[in-house]
Chain A
Amino acid sequence: MRARLIGVMLLLMVYSASTFAGDILVVVSKASPVDSISRRELVDLYMGRSHSLPDGSPVLKIDAPVDSPTREAFYRSLINMQVAEVNAYWARLMLTGRATPPMSVTRTEDIAALLERNPNALGYLPEDSGNENLKTIFVIKDTSRAP
């Protein structure tokens, strides 16, 4: 616990300059037929309840790297859970195999590349990492920012 706390503190120190602050954009390839998605649909997709997009097309969910502040912010804003909790959730469901967790990338830059290449893929990015090959279908407001 203490080690974890120290770890979190170190992380905060490392990313202090670039500590994530701001909205998170849910993005797909420009070629994707999906133009928008509801928050609930987003949750159901990422938490394993839905296996396809609202229009019925299959989907590839991409998660930010495990330790990235983006991933942290995404889950906190979406379902008010920490990454560790989400991991535990998935670990619980591993055995049944009915639901599968999103695919995790090792680097944040890989997300954009994966999305560009795959029209069925769905991912999220920090708001400042704009990319003209992608389209934003949902914006998660930064709940931690002071109003």
Chain B
Amino acid sequence: MKTSKPFSLSRTLRERLDLKIALAILCLAMLFLLVLGFFNYLKAQQEERAHALAVVREMVAVVEGNAAIAAYLKDIQLADEIVSGLQDSRYVARAAIDIDGGPTIAAGDITQSVEADVVHRLNAPFDAADQVGTLRVYADFAFIGQLATGRGRSVLVGQLALLLLVSGALFWVVRRVVIRPLGRVVGQLKTIEQSGVAHLRGISLKSQDEIGYLARNINSLLEKVHQAYLSEAEHNRQIAQLERKFRLIFEGSHAGIVLVDESDRLALVNPAFEAMVAELLPGAGCLEGRPLSQLFREPERVDDILAVVRDSHTSIFCDLMLAGEQEIWLRGVFSIIESQGGDERGYVEVVFSDISDRALTEKRFEYGATHDQLTGLLNRRGGMERFARQIEQAQAKGSELILCLIDLNDFKPVNDVHGHEAGDLVLQEVAQRLQHALRADDVIVRWGGDEFVVSMLVSGDFAVEAVGRNLLSLFRAPIEIDPQTRVRVGGSVGIASSAHSGYNIQQLIESADEAMYVVKKGDKNSYRVSGAEEQFEP
């Protein structure tokens, strides 16, 4: 049951344009009417007065002859009849005839008023030059005022009626020409708002005036809005679908996916990643906001990777071990997020996969693959990798890199006389001596059999010779096989420098090999620098 609101005039007026217009017209017209009515009233009064005076003058003209006779004959009775007759008129208050040389015959009290409204000179009937009396008439202005008021009022009433009529007509016309079409537009607009996605119903209006134009414009506007709404809705639907898919990937992925903000803190993590690091943070629910690096055993490495990724805009692939008791390895792919938007600037996306088992085996395998089992030095494969890196370093710094190939002299006899174990001991001893003699970042490789290769960065003119001499000095001391047995092995050293061979590992190795070969053919226990004239001896 719809409850009807109590009628409120002010609200009705506020909501109804037609009433507003009608009221405005009425108010304005009332104002005009008041002003106009006032002047009309004044004019009516003036006119009525003038009219009354004219009437009085006419009456005077009518009785003039008789009055003149009465005055001429001094006929008081006749004069009295005349003034009484005049006074009978509604326009006349008082009248009097002054007879020259006779009495004044009056109707009404004439003593109080001094000036008569109409004063007429009475001439002798048979001699116009001879004045015989005066006729005085006093108009009844009270009555004239009444007449004027009545006329003014009737004028006012007529105008008021006209005004009401015109207002009503205007109200009707405005209602018909403006309000009803507008109301139709508004009504149709209301139904359109509620119709939603359904087929758009335009506003139908026949009028050709401004309201029709408005309706047509609204139609085209509505059409555009509707199109925009439809495309927007479609767009939103696609976005929602896409978001659902992405969410499925993000939430359901087995890989841990995290988003790192520009201050290296976690901005977003997926459940898989939370599960990966769950052991590190027992009970602590929220990962977002923590620095990513703190989750790993080598935080500075993580920070480095993040910095590099941001600088180079490349993806970096890296295995990292989580902090904590257990050895858990995660393989992470770090990628910068290329976004136009300002908010995600510097964000890095990392996808982690748990490679703990694989990492362990790989580590062992890699170690075996790159290291010599006997001496613990790098093997040839491992050495080649390190050389490559070292060359890059040298090239970057612009420093000289030397590569020395060391071939043991008199090693075969040791093997043959004292057996393979003794040979192994000799090799291990040489390896140890090399490790002690050289710096940490120098690369020492067991090149194969009784051959060793060391490479290092050097500076200075005589550094190469110093290195050659140092290497040769390693062989001076005899090697103890067992407490009773000591053997002595020598070394032939061929040295290649990047100064001559360039930053090319193959070329360096070949040059060093050639130099060593020269030494081997010569007097053995000495060194030779490739490209140099002389062969140096200790």
Contact = CB atoms under 8 A, between A and B. Distances in A.
Contact of B69 (A43, A81, A89): A89
A98 B73 contact: yes
A49 B73 contact: yes
A81 B77 CA distance: 25
Contact of B78 (A40, A43, A47, A96): A96
B219 interface: no
Interface in B107-129: 125-127
A10 interface: no
Contacts of B130: 40
Nearest to B72: A49
A13 interface: no
B369 to A, nearest CB: 165
Interface in A36-53: 40, 43, 47-49
B66 interface: yes
Interface in B69-120: 69, 72-78
Interface residues of A, number: 15
A5 B474 CA distance: 189
B69 A40 contact: no
Contacts of A40: 127, 130
B69 A92 contact: yes
A99 B73 contact: yes
Interface in B342-357: none
A93 B65 CA distance: 12
Interface in A81-100: 81, 89, 92-93, 96, 98-99
A113 interface: no
A98 B78 contact: yes
Contacts of B73: 47-49, 93, 98-99
A96 B77 CA distance: 6
A12 interface: no
B62 to A, nearest CB: 14
B77 A47 contact: no
A137 B127 CA distance: 21
Interface string A61-102: 000000000000000001111000000010011001011000
A89 B73 CA distance: 12
B341 to A, nearest CB: 121
Contacts of B125: 47, 89
Contact of B66 (A47, A92, A98): A92
Contacts of B69: 89, 92-93
Contacts of B72: 47, 49
A27 B127 CA distance: 23
Contacts of A99: 73, 75
A100 B342 CA distance: 133
A98 B127 contact: no
Given A49-B72, A49-B73, A99-B73, A93 B126 contact: no
A69 B249 CA distance: 150
Nearest to B70: A96
A98 B78 CA distance: 9
B75 A96 contact: yes
Contacts of B127: 40, 43
A79 B127 CA distance: 8
Interface in B274-314: none
A79 B78 contact: no
A47 B78 CA distance: 15
Contact of B126 (A43, A96, A98): A43
Task: Identify the interface centre among A79, A80, A92, A93: most chain B CB within 10 Å of its CB.
Answer: A93
28 contacts: A40-B130, A43-B126, A43-B127, A47-B72, A47-B73, A47-B125, A47-B126, A48-B73, A49-B72, A49-B73, A49-B74, A78-B126, A79-B126, A80-B126, A81-B126, A89-B69, A89-B125, A92-B69, A93-B69, A93-B73, A93-B75, A96-B77, A96-B78, A98-B73, A98-B74, A98-B76, A98-B77, A99-B75
Closest CB pairs A-B (n = 9): A79-B126, A98-B75, A96-B77, A96-B78, A99-B73, A96-B75, A43-B126, A49-B73, A48-B73
Interface of A: 40, 43, 47-49, 78-81, 89, 92-93, 96, 98-99
